[in-house]
Amino acid sequence: MIRYLIKKLITLLILLGLVSITVFAVLFVLPGDPAQIILGINATPESLATLRAELGLDKSFMGQYAHWMGNLLLGQSQQSIHYKMPVYELIRDSLAVTGPLALLAMLFALAISLPFGIYAARHQNQAGDVVVMVCTQLGLATPEFWFGILLTLLFSVQLGWFSAGGFPGWSTDCWGSLKALLLPAFALGVIRASILTRLTRSSMLEVLSEDYVRTARAKGLKERTVVYGHALRNALAPVLTIMGLQLGQLLAGAIIIENVFFLPGLGRLVFNAIGQRDLPVVRDIVLFMAAAVVVVNFLVDIAYAVIDPRIQLE
Amino acid sequence: MTKRSLGKIFLLSFIFILSALLILSCEKSTETGRDAEKLNKLTEQVEKLTEKVDQLSKQVDEMGRKLEKFSETMAAPQRGGSLVLCVGDEPPGLDPTASASAAIDRVVYANIMEGLIKVDRNGKFVPGLAAKWDVSPDGKVYTFQLRQGVKFHNGEIFNARVARWNLERGAAADTKNAHPEFFRVIEKIETPYDYTLVVTLKDVDALFIVHMAEGDAVMLPMKGYENTAAAPIGTGPFKFAKWTRGDSVGMVRNEKYWNPALPYLDKVTYRFIKDPSAQVAALKAGDVDIIGWLFAPELAADIAIDKRFKVLSGASTSEVIMSTNNKAKPFDNKLVRQAIAYAIDRQTVIDLVMAGYGTVIGSHWPPVTPYYKKMSDRFPFNPQKAKELLAQAGYPSGFEATIKLPAIYPYSQRAGEVIADMLGQIGIKLKIEIVEWGFWLDRIFKQKDFELSMIGHAEAWDIGIYANPNYYFQYDSQEFREAYAKALKAPNEAEKAKWFGRCQEIIAEDAVNGFLFLSPALSAMKVELMNWWENYPTIALDCTEVWWKR
């Protein structure tokens, strides 16, 4: 287990190193001058030069990279060009939105996909199964931003139950904040549930045709015990893999849905930062996203071992 | 309201009696069975009369609306309440003296910070922190009498010494101001009394007062100006409260504002929502009270019919132009540019792109700004003439070109598509390329690597960009430079009008860019919100005199 952990940690570090170089290089050659974006198109060349010097943009490639890496290793945050505050604080604040949003979306996805997936598997090729499959097909084909807009039109504009977007902040209004996340999380969750439902169904079908399930049934166990006690646990492994990928994706920011619901989350932060050439923010967030995906995958690996004791973490 | 309905009732009863009489007389004539033609004539007359009544009732309606508006301006404003305002772009910092970004001015200018001069709702220059000012006969010495009893939000006193420090800060060698040239025309600043500021210019500058009324020239406190970008301090009617990054900027009423009657609102929040449909959804769901700049003009009509909301459509200072690279072939040929000017039906562009909101322009000058000269008739839509000019220029069968459109502005892409179709009619095939904003700034604006583009120039009084041959559209005209220099040095109003007018004429005649339309100042708000600015003659969304009717 320890060896496994160390191995994972080394992989993480190598990965982050590679990501940092790639990100840095891409942003370095990306056309667009942060100073120009801040000062506007009618700024004089000398004011541009002053600002470029202040932002450290006049240094060489290696100079800027070393500066960034040095800060990163020392745990010091760089200042956001656009927001004039430390990048780490920005990431922390936006994670307070994106983190709960991602978890809530996954909860919705699980709450929808597990029951429907199991139901469809148990009633394979019957009317119920067909309905579920058609619905998931529909869910797969629906763009989430469009679904989000539909939800806003119904629940915010017509019924007035939810606000159309925005985020009051956990410290000022806890219930309001949770409420603000419900619609976007549902929009994200339903679309992801479509994939998970299909996966649960096929995985369940496979497991249900295994010998041990037949044995369990032959022993005279109740169908309920067979399905939930014996089959489900084994059927969950592939579902878990996809869930891990989805959670990683969601943590990396649901850019479009955050824009539709104007939530100040990680996705919108990085999206705006790219547009504004707020390079310190983009770099750090991309690194963070890469790390998040690796960590989530690592957690999924551990979960495998918990679900299926035959799997050894080596 | 009652007057209006009384008028309607009167008119309707009038027409009713008239038609009754007509019908009676018709019956008589049919009875005698003599003349069916007479009947037709009479029906025609009735129709005509009905039309007239329609017109009249429309006029009555219009008068009613005017009356409402008048009563709005005359009604005593009520105090209190908070306002949530939706704007599209989040500003890059909150310091207007460190950036020319319009997004900053739209949040802080006139709300948190003020300058010596202000622009009023009609585009006139009125006293701001300077209660009055005089100009010497030679046009070089400006004497400002500053308002007394003005304090910054941190308690510092505003006086001539502070004003002088601010102007010197803008001109300093290490200034971060995006427009140091506004201040570098100053030769010396004297402060003979605590509240008298005497500014002597190196030379006459017709735009000095204009520049002093812009966000770049706001007054900051000498102590505590350092953190303006994150926590601004000014003299304005509202104090900065909180900036929730990615979401909103909040401000509260300044209880010690120099004008004790203002502001009316207790709290103002600027919320940043970029997506046009999300903006409208937020308004309809009640999350925001007003959309300061409606990104989706096509949704304006839909909002206006909803009784809870009203839409104001005034004039802004943003000219949307099809920027043309005057050094790129074949656009370096004046005939080609004029042919394009003839080929564009600008009213149709407005109808298709802005849902009919906006004003046709023919030069680079907003109609709401003084010294405007109407040039929009210079190139009326005439495809035939366009083809002739194109043939004369040596392109009888047209040519191919690329138009690069910045993705961040929805109007730009739409206008690009419409114009590509219009130019296609005279044989110019446009390839459309959508580019991201940073890319636009770098490749098009800086490196001038483009043939055509499309962008709104937000600032008023920016015609001087045509005097700079290195500006991205690379227009090089000695005649214009001379006219502009004369305008800047004009000693009196008549001369200013003459030479600024001449400047507008020259670039219109040269068809430097495709002058399309003036962006509408399109705002949508709850009906109870009073006294919002209909026109935006300066770059600000000023909440000072806005109030809630309860």
Q: Where are the alpha helices (DSSP H) in B292-444?
A: 300-304, 334-343, 346-353, 383-392, 410-424, 437-439
Based on C-alpha coordinates, what's the Rg of chain B? Answer: 27
Angle at A224 between CA A219 and CA A227, to 5 degrees: 80
Whether residue B100 and residue A169 make contact (CB cut-off 8 A), yes or no, is: no
Chains A and B form CB pairs within 8 A to the count of 154
Whether residue A82 and residue B93 make contact (CB cut-off 8 A), yes or no, is: yes
According to DSSP, the residues that pair with B290 across neighbouring strands are B85, B525
Provide mean pLDDT across the span A247-276.
83
Type of residue found at A106: M
Of A38, A94, A275, the CB nearest to B408: A275
pLDDT for res B14: 60
Q: How confident is the model at residue A69 (pLDDT cuts 50, 70, 90)?
A: confident
Positive/negative CA dihedral, A215, A217, A222, A224: positive
Does residue A48 or residue A312 have the better pLDDT?
A48
Residue B176 forms contact with A (CB below 8 Å): yes
B290-291 and B82-87 strand pairing: parallel
Neighboring chain B residues of A33 at a CB cutoff of 8 Å: 438, 441-442, 446
Whether residue A277 and residue B438 make contact (CB cut-off 8 A), yes or no, is: yes
Q: How far is the alpha carbon of A45 from chain B, nearest alpha carbon, in Å? A: 9
Residue B439 forms contact with A (CB below 8 Å): yes
According to DSSP, the residues that pair with B524 across neighbouring strands are B291, B311
Nearest-by-CA chain B residue for A158: B285
Q: Which residues contact B280 (CB under 8 A, 6 or more apart)?
A: B291, B294, B296, B299, B302, B303, B524
pLDDT for res B150: 92
Neighboring chain A residues of B180 at a CB cutoff of 8 Å: 44, 46-47
Per-residue pLDDT tens over the stretch A122-158: 888 888 888 888 998 888 888 888 888 888 888 888 8
Neighboring chain A residues of B443 at a CB cutoff of 8 Å: 31
Interface test with B, best of A26, A28, A37, A41 (most B CBs within 10 A): A41
d(CA B518, CA B358): 6
Residue B442 forms contact with A (CB below 8 Å): yes
- CA-wise closest residue to B452 among B392, B386, B406, B504: B406
Neighboring chain A residues of B105 at a CB cutoff of 8 Å: none
- CA-wise closest residue to A89 among A286, A277, A281, A294: A281
Interface of B with A in 344-383 (CB under 8 A): none
Residue B226 forms contact with A (CB below 8 Å): no
Neighboring chain B residues of A44 at a CB cutoff of 8 Å: 178-181
Other CB atoms within 10 Å distance of the CB of residue B320: 25
Residue A94 forms contact with B (CB below 8 Å): yes
Q: Which residues contact B201 (CB under 8 A, 6 or more apart)?
A: B139, B140, B141, B142, B185, B186, B187, B208
CB B451 within 8 A of CB B400: no
Whether residue A81 and residue B92 make contact (CB cut-off 8 A), yes or no, is: yes
- CA-wise closest residue to A288 among A274, A304, A270: A270
Residue A220 forms contact with B (CB below 8 Å): no
Nearest-by-CA chain A residue for B459: A42
Domains and CATH numbers, chain A: 32-76 (no CATH), 88-313 (1.10.3720.10)
Whether residue B230 and residue A84 make contact (CB cut-off 8 A), yes or no, is: yes
pLDDT for res B251: 95
Neighboring chain B residues of A260 at a CB cutoff of 8 Å: 275, 278
Q: Which residues contact A69 (CB under 8 A, 6 or more apart)?
A: A20
Neighboring chain A residues of B93 at a CB cutoff of 8 Å: 38, 82-84
Per-residue pLDDT tens over the stretch A25-63: 888 887 777 887 777 777 777 778 877 887 778 788 888
Residue B274 forms contact with A (CB below 8 Å): yes
Residue A157 forms contact with B (CB below 8 Å): yes
Whether residue A32 and residue B441 make contact (CB cut-off 8 A), yes or no, is: yes
Provide mean pLDDT across the span A219-225.
80
Other CB atoms within 10 Å distance of the CB of residue A173: 13
Which one of A68-82, A208-222, B280-294 scores highest in mean pLDDT? B280-294
Whether residue B92 and residue A31 make contact (CB cut-off 8 A), yes or no, is: no
- CA-wise closest residue to B86 among B236, B264, B283, B240: B283
Q: Which residues contact A246 (CB under 8 A, 6 or more apart)?
A: A106, A109, A192, A195, A196
Whether residue A275 and residue B273 make contact (CB cut-off 8 A), yes or no, is: no
pLDDT for res B325: 93
Crossing angle of the two packed helices B334-343 and B410-424, in degrees rounded to 10: 100
Whether residue A32 and residue B437 make contact (CB cut-off 8 A), yes or no, is: yes
Whether residue A272 and residue B246 make contact (CB cut-off 8 A), yes or no, is: yes
Whether residue B273 and residue A43 make contact (CB cut-off 8 A), yes or no, is: no
Taking chain B (550 residues) in runs of 10, the rounded mean pLDDT of each run is: 55 62 53 69 84 81 71 76 91 86 89 93 90 89 92 92 92 85 91 92 89 92 88 94 89 93 92 87 90 86 89 89 92 92 93 90 88 91 92 91 89 91 92 88 87 89 90 92 90 88 93 92 92 89 91
Residue A169 forms contact with B (CB below 8 Å): yes
pLDDT for res B165: 93
CB A253 within 8 A of CB A99: no
Q: How far is the alpha carbon of B139 from chain A, nearest alpha carbon, in Å? A: 26
Q: How far is the alpha carbon of B471 from chain A, nearest alpha carbon, in Å? A: 9
The chain-wide mean pLDDT, for chain A, equals: 83
pLDDT for res B2: 47
Residue A272 forms contact with B (CB below 8 Å): yes
Q: Which residues contact B236 (CB under 8 A, 6 or more apart)?
A: B108, B110, B111, B112, B113, B114, B254, B257, B544
Of B244, B408, B439, the CB nearest to A31: B439
Other CB atoms within 10 Å distance of the CB of residue A23: 19
Nearest-by-CA chain B residue for A52: B176
